[in-house]
Copies of this chain bind each other. A is one copy, B any other.
């Protein structure tokens, strides 16, 4: 008995160490699943004041885990020879004219929820996806998958999933800060355009790749890369005279991924209903920030 009472503290101490170890592992698992080098990166930067006083968010994390900082398309000398680069060169007047015209075109773009059911040529959609595929990406991983849905049944299944989740958001996920948005959420609840639009484009980011040996290969900057390609996609839609509304369905990604049979390394980033605007389409009469409010020149 005396022996036991002497041993108990030792046992308790062991238990204590085990629990500590478990928490440590769970934390590592959590972070490494997102960015292998985060712990390394931050531990190095902890001593540097400007890091402490700055926001610590994923850009930092991703950056810390990044292979290289430049997105030199597939810059792998072993893989690719370097070739001379030729590029269209315009006189200054032409450059001004072209940049003016492109700005006016893009400035007409608006998020439109009232989409016509009128069919749209598949060839145009193909060109638009090809254009999105010209975006740069970290280490030229091209970590995007574009799922173009025109099948009415699938579109309707997508609508059911999105609307059901909206309801869950409404009933379960809303914190106090959302109370004021009730009415707004209600109006957003019904997504008729998911049935009506001739195409739904679901953009998936590939969070990691699979190497020949079956191991996971992290795709650094995959969210930034795919978002950039979506920016080019939106430009291509506008250029072709089509409209969409940029949407990120709350928590629908996993169900939609299964519905569309996408692999586990892919994650839904955006859902874009695409078509011509409805004849009676309206948009909020908003203004955009002025140049001085978004640009600083040094």
Contacts and interface: CB of A to CB of B under 8 A. Distances in A.
A266 to B, nearest CB: 8
Interface in A60-85: 60, 62-64, 66-77, 79-85
A250 B63 contact: yes
B221 A59 contact: no
Interface in A122-145: 122-124, 126-136, 138, 140, 142, 144-145
B85 A103 contact: no
A177 B65 CA distance: 11
Lowest 5 CB-CB distances: which A-B pairs, in order? Answer: A231-B231, A227-B227, A12-B12, A16-B16, A23-B23
Interface string A76-115: 1101111111011110100110111011001111111110
Interface residues of A, number: 174
Name the residue among A69, A184, A205 with the largest chain B CB count within 10 angstroms: A69
A179 B265 CA distance: 26
A160 interface: no
In the complex this chain forms, how many copies of it are found? 2
B50 A258 contact: yes
Contacts of A283: 73, 82-83, 85
B245 A70 contact: yes
Contacts of A151: 298
19 contacts: A26-B27, A27-B30, A33-B56, A37-B175, A40-B175, A54-B264, A68-B184, A74-B286, A85-B277, A85-B281, A87-B241, A87-B243, A106-B236, A132-B294, A145-B295, A146-B295, A147-B298, A223-B224, A224-B227
Contact of A33 (B55, B128, B295): B55
Given A23-B23, A99-B239, A63 B251 contact: yes
Contact of A142 (B50, B51, B270, B289): B289
Contact of A113 (B56, B70, B109, B134): B70
A36 interface: yes
Interface in A251-278: 251, 253-255, 257-258, 260, 264-265, 267-270, 276-277
